[in-house]
Amino acid sequence: MAATTTQLIETVLNSRKAASKAGRIAQEKDAVTLMERAAKAKNTELGLRLTEKWGHAPYEVAKAANWSEMLRPDIASYDVILINTSAGKDSQTTMRVVCDLAKKAGIMSRVHAVHADLGRMDWSGTRELAQKQADVYGIPLHVIARPQGDLPTHIKVRGKFPSSACRYCTSDHKRGQVAKVITQLARETGITERKVRVLSCMGIRAEESSRRATFAPFCLDSLNSNQTKREVHKWFPIFEMSTQDVWDDIKASGVSHHWAYDIGMPRLSCNFCFFVGTDALIVAGHHNRATLVDLVKIEEEIGHTFKHNFRLANILEAVDRGVKPTLDPQMAWVD
């Protein structure tokens, strides 16, 4: 006997993902079935909840059904459009795409950008470039930072470096601070008779990693939505673009990109990111030696290494010996 829609919602949306692989596969199959029902009923709210939790599998159902409301947002229906920018290549192309659409729709006044200032963990010139890129498109830039201090300060207090299992660098220094901007901008609309609709745009691409390829490029943002005041959706406008597509777009736009790419870095993340390999850390060390020295001191003080059995002291030693690796242009790191 087929499960009812109510039963499927309980299984795939209101329950935690199964611990076993077989259990998750069964849940994903149910998610696809539920998405097929949502598509038939044109229940976009349910569809966006499904793509948030189950990613690409239900999104593929929407694509097969040519369900336009689930494939891309109608940006004119949003009261606030927020572009998350690191000043990196994917962010600046996302900014160009979103601003072009907003300009055509006559809603540029609704577009804002937000940049997380990472302090010592930023490559030099990052904040200034984020402002310059926002200025090109004539949109306000909100610069945010964790008020308790930058990431090295946080590491020292916490006593441990971030890791793939505990990415407080992202949750506390980026997402948590951006959430405050979303709340502020929603409040400033003055809308009280209904929920404020917010579209949060990010430069995430499927090509970046096998994990990101499982995402859906348009979904609910339940962390920033609530029952009475805000409805927030996430959108990855350049999700299907290749790295070459992005660079071609930047060249055509004439907008400046960050100099870190010119020395071989494929991403503009923290200058010392735990996803980075040894060679990239050494290159970063040559250009961010003061931060590297600070992090080595923190390693010694807290007794916890940058990565498991991996000490930044060895990177500093290589930098001081003059080791200068040539980086692989195909190198990438992202979870």
Tens digits of pLDDT across the chain (335 residues): 689 999 999 999 999 999 999 999 999 999 999 999 999 999 999 999 999 999 999 999 999 999 999 999 999 999 999 999 999 999 999 999 999 999 999 999 999 999 999 999 999 999 999 999 999 999 999 999 999 999 999 999 999 999 989 999 999 999 999 999 999 999 999 999 999 999 999 999 999 999 999 999 999 999 999 999 999 999 999 999 999 999 999 999 999 999 999 999 988 989 999 998 999 999 999 999 999 999 999 999 999 999 999 999 999 999 999 999 998 877 777 77
So what's the pLDDT on residue 328?
81
Encoding tokens for residue 199? Answer: 């579209």
Residue 171: C-alpha distances to residues 49, 76, 123, 197, 268 (Å): 21, 29, 20, 23, 18
So what's the pLDDT on residue 263?
94
Residue 139 carries which DSSP code? -
For the chain, how far is it from start to end, CA to CA, in angstroms? 39
So what's the pLDDT on residue 335?
72
So what's the pLDDT on residue 1?
64
- CATH entry, 75-235, from 2.60.200.20, 3.40.50.620, 3.30.420.40, 3.90.76.10: 3.40.50.620
The domain segmentation of the chain, as residue ranges, is 5-71, 75-235
Residue 172 carries which DSSP code? I
Separation of alpha carbons 173 and 148, rounded Å: 10
Which phi and psi angles does 28 have, rounded to 5°? -65, -40
Instruction: Please name which of 38, 32, 37 lies closest in space to residue 58, comparing C-alpha atoms.
Output: 32
- Kindly compute the dihedral angle of the four CA atoms of residues 32, 19, 13, 28, in this order, to the nearest 10 degrees: 0
Q: What is the model's pTM?
A: 0.95
